[in-house]
Structure 1
Amino acid sequence: MMEVKTIKADEVKTKLANGETLFLIDVRENEEVREGMIPEAVHIRMGDIPGHLDQFNKETEYIIICKAGGRSHRVCEYLTAHGYKAVNMVGGMDDWNGETKPKQ
């Protein structure tokens, strides 16, 4: 398995609280994000990532989020293999205890 950088949910929450600009990508399915996602996150389903690579910048580090950390790990491997900087939020939304908003 490819080595993937990781970050914990509470570290993401702290960075956001400190005003850091983070690029969060939630790769869960539509019905999952309707229950709530991190307000700063952008929703791109895991299966749609390959078709959206033109929206990514190779100079930007992206934090990838799913429910528990498995799908986001695979997306990180994919993005890294294509020359992008991706960090897996380990534990996913299961470990998130910050604010959420329903996806419109």
Structure 2
Amino acid sequence: MQTITVNELKAKIDAGEQVNLVDVREPHENAEFNIGGILLPLGKVQTMQVDEIEDLKDAEVYIYCRSGNRSGQACLILETMGFSNVVNVTGGMLAWQEQIGR
């Protein structure tokens, strides 16, 4: 599993790069603050209900959560399901809000 910092990810977004973002937090967390990713709670990933992102199996996909823990778990599960290029956003949205803001 690869990792990326929130600052590196923000630089890619600011540069206009195509980034595939997946938020594995719960809906209420996503409603409070999000950076535009597809909402796919970790529970769905754990039960392999990933139809929303099935077409991204061969694409680079940035997985984020609140702190980087759930997204790390999601990355490992997605790799076993054949996703070849998942990237864990270290520090998650806590780091994003602390270092970048809203």
Alpha carbons of 1:58 and 1:32: their partners in 2 closer, same or farther (altered >3 Å)?
A: same
What is the SS of the residue equivalent to 2:77?
Answer: helix
CA RMSD, Structure 1 to Structure 2 (Å): 1.5
State how many pairs are aligned.
Answer: 96
Instruction: Please report how far the alpha carbon of residue 55 of structure 1 lies from its aligned counterpart in structure 2 after TM superposition.
Output: 2.9
Distance in 1 (CA, whole Å) between partners of 2:27 and 2:13 is 24
Deviation digits for residues 20-54 of structure 1, max 9, x if unmatched?
Answer: 00000000011111111003x11111111211246
- In the alignment, residue 80 of structure 2 is paired with which amino acid? A
Q: Name the counterpart of 1:82.
A: 81
Alignment partner of 1:28: what SS? coil
Q: Distance in 2 between matches of 1:55 and 1:63?
A: 12
How many Å apart are 1:58 and its aligned residue? 2.0
Q: Quote the residue 2:41 is aligned against.
A: 45
Contact residue 38 and residue 99 of structure 1 kept, 8 A: no
Structure 1 residues 18 and 69 mapped into 2: Cα distance closer, same or farther (>3 Å)?
same
Q: Whole-Å Cα distance in 2 between the matches of residues 30 and 47 of structure 1?
A: 12
Aligned residues with identical type, % of pairs: 33
Q: Which runs of 5+ in 1 are unaligned?
A: none
Q: List runs of 5+ in structure 2 lacking aligned partners.
A: none
Deviations 1:71-101, CA, capped at 9 Å, x for gaps: 000000001112202110000001114465x
The separation in 2 between residues aligned to 1:91 and 1:34, in whole angstroms, is 19
- In 2, the alpha carbon distance for the partners of 1:99 and 1:62 equals 22
| Counterpart secondary structure, 1:96 | helix
Write 1 or 2 for the structure with the bigger share of helix: 2
